[in-house]
């Protein structure tokens, strides 16, 4: 009776109720722990994570992904390529596959983004914006154009406001939670927030530093500058100085601040920062450890994790700018060389000749005709009149001259014979005269010639030759009749 009374009193005082609540809370705690262990045991590394790679053609996207995969001979595709990267967690002895989507560099393929980045994949996607150092004057334009294209696609996704806000808040939290490697072991370390603006002492719930995440896409973004081994070529051929590379870097870092992105300078050829990029991706996607601090000393191997940078650190680069200002227009300083501005001359299109016309032309050429359009009888149209050989073998006397002027050939022969006769005093036609010297001598008539008539006729003939200028002096070796 006494025991029952005590029991009744305890129940009336609420002790029994408190005991039940403790048991229930204990059961709920153990249940949550067991559920967490069970979930992590079944799927330690999630298999629904994706990487979307955007960049112009020839920016090295395919080669970069092949390097992350460990593939020696990358195969280029078109449109939207798909690949995967094997990810292993050595601490928990677990592995999974990270899906990779590589969009073609032609913006006309932007409609394919709906297959790589949709409503379901959005919370599980990291974006890599890729540009190459081989075209340094185009880096900033390329990054801005691809970021704008990505933003337009995200705006069209059927995402509810809660999902968008949650993803954006996660981006802000990741930026604010960044700590230098080693500082995470000591939460009370005064250096824990060295990556943040010391003047603002940014903390959760307070505004972000100047220029940080002004464009929050709700996606994790990494900017990758490939082919940095080309910097040495730029120094030799384009006379680039350190200040040019510092000018480029400070603009790229400003862009990264705007989108809350990490920055990596890589070279697949010289294997610079490729392994660190792989580790950083697994850190951002699977929360695997990444203990490499920011690297800004080597200009071709820059590494800046998201959350480390700020405008104050970027201003350090401004001290090295001598012939330019930090806010100068990017393309004015990093100008495209004149040789690259010239449009490649298009080869003129040559129309193929019709087969039968070609064969007819060849047949005419083989038959001795220079012009296949001429008739074969064209050669024989001229009458074969008497032709007098002159000094030049390519010229002929006008055959009409001999027929139109009766004294043409005879007068000339008599004139030259008179010159020979006057000079030598030997009767023309007699043996030993110059007319008989050499082969094919001129045959002269032995009949005496009237000198006055001959001179008059010769003068008339010379006058005609002077006026017409069509005939050359005849060859002494030709034969004619007076």
Query: What's the helix, strand, coil split of the chain in %, to 5?
Result: 45, 10, 45
Whole-model pTM: value is: 0.61
Q: Give the per-residue pLDDT at 73.
A: 80
Helix orientation angle between 242-259 and 139-156, rounded to the nearest 10 degrees: 10
Furthest C-alpha separation in the chain: 190
Give the pLDDT of residue 21: 56
Strands 262-265 and 303-304: antiparallel
pLDDT, position 181: 85
φ, ψ of residue 369 in degrees (nearest 5) = -95, 130
CB 415 within 8 A of CB 384: no
Q: What are phi and psi of 263, to 5 degrees?
A: -130, 130
Alpha carbons 90 and 40: distance in angstroms, whole number: 15
What pLDDT does 364 receive?
87
Give the separation between CA 383 and CA 35, rounded to whole angstroms. 117
Give residue 44's pLDDT: 76
Query: Partners of 222 in the beta sheet?
Result: 128, 262
Helices H, strands E: what count in the chain?
16, 7
DSSP assignment string, 298-319: STTS-EE-TTT--HHHHGGGGG
Q: Rounded to whole angstroms, how far apart are CA atoms 44 and 48?
A: 12
Residue 40 is predicted with a pLDDT of 52
Q: Picking from 42-56, 92-106, 300-314, 364-378, which range would have the lowest pLDDT averaged per residue? A: 364-378
**Dihedral pair phi/psi, residue 127, rounded to 5°:** -110, 135
| CA within 13 Å, CB half, 420 | 20
The residues facing 88 across adjacent strands are 95
Mean pLDDT of 145-162: 95
Please say if the pLDDT value at position 470 is more than 70: no
Mean pLDDT across the chain, nearest whole number? 77
DSSP 396: B
Query: What is the CATH code of the structural domain delimited by 50-181+210-333?
Result: 3.40.50.300
Per-residue pLDDT, 464: 74
Residue 32's H or E segment, with its range, is: helix 15-42
d(CA 130, CA 132): 7
Mean pLDDT lowest for which of 28-32, 88-92, 386-390?
A: 386-390
**pLDDT at position 115, please?**
95
DSSP 453-470: HHHHHHHHHHHHHHHH--
pLDDT, tens only, 225-256 = 999 999 999 999 999 999 999 999 999 999 99
Q: Which of 133, 126, 349 is nearest to 249 (CA)?
A: 133
Q: What does the pLDDT read at residue 66?
A: 94
pLDDT in tens, 68-113: 999 888 888 789 999 999 998 888 889 999 999 999 999 889 999 9
At residue 144 the predicted structure's pLDDT band, cuts being 50, 70 and 90, is very high
Provide the pLDDT for residue 435: 45
Write down the pLDDT at residue 74. Answer: 80
Q: Using the predicted structure, report yes or no on whether residue 415 has a pLDDT greater than 70.
A: yes
pLDDT in tens, 341-358: 445 556 677 888 888 888
Asked if residue 407 has pLDDT above 80, the reply is no
């Amino acid at each position: 009776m006494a025991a029952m009374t005590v029991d009744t009193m305890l129940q009336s005082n609420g002790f029994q109720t408190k005991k039940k609540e403790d048991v229930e809370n204990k059961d709920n705690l153990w249940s949550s722990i067991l559920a967490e262990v069970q979930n992590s045991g079944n799927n330690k590394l999630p298999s629904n994570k994706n990487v979307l790679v955007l960049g112009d053609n020839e920016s090295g996207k395919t080669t970069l992904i092949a390097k992350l995969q460990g593939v020696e001979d990358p195969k280029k595709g078109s449109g939207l390529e798909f690949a995967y990267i094997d990810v292993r967690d050595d601490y928990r002895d677990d592995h999974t596959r990270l899906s990779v989507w590589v969009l073609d560099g032609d913006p006309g393929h932007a409609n394919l983004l709906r297959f790589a980045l949709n409503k379901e994949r959005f919370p599980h996607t990291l974006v890599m914006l890729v540009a190459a150092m081989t075209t340094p004057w185009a880096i900033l334009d390329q990054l801005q154009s691809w970021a704008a294209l990505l933003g337009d696609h995200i705006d069209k996704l059927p995402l509810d406001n809660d999902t968008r806000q949650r993803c954006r808040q996660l981006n802000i939290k990741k930026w604010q939670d960044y700590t230098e490697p080693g500082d995470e072991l000591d939460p009370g370390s005064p250096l824990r927030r060295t990556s943040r603006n010391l003047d603002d002492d940014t903390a959760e719930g307070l505004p972000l530093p100047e220029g940080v995440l002004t464009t929050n896409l709700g996606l994790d973004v990494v900017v990758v500058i490939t082919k940095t081994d080309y910097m040495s070529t730029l120094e030799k051929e384009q006379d680039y100085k350190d200040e040019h590379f510092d000018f480029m870097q400070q603009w790229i870092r400003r862009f990264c601040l705007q989108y809350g992105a990490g920055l990596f300078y890589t070279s697949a050829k010289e294997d610079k920062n490729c392994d660190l990029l792989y580790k950083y991706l697994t850190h951002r996607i699977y929360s695997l450890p990444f203990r490499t601090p920011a690297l800004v000393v080597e200009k071709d191997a820059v590494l800046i994790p998201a959350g480390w940078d700020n405008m104050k650190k970027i201003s350090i680069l401004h001290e090295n700018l001598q012939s330019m200002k930090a806010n100068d227009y990017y393309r004015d300083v990093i100008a495209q060389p004149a040789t690259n501005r010239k449009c490649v001359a298009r080869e003129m299109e040559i129309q193929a000749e019709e087969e039968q016309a070609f064969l007819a032309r060849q047949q005419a050429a083989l038959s001795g005709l220079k012009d296949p359009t001429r008739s074969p009888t064209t050669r024989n149209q001229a009458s074969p009149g008497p032709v007098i050989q002159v000094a030049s073998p390519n010229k002929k006397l006008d055959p009409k001259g001999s027929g139109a002027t009766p004294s043409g050939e005879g007068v000339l022969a008599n004139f030259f014979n008179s010159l020979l006769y006057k000079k030598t005093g030997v009767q023309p036609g007699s043996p030993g005269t110059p007319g008989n010297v050499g082969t094919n001598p001129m045959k002269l008539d032995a009949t005496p010639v009237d000198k006055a008539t001959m001179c008059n006729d010769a003068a008339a003939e010379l006058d005609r030759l002077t006026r017409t200028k069509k005939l050359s002096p005849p060859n002494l070796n030709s034969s004619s009749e007076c």
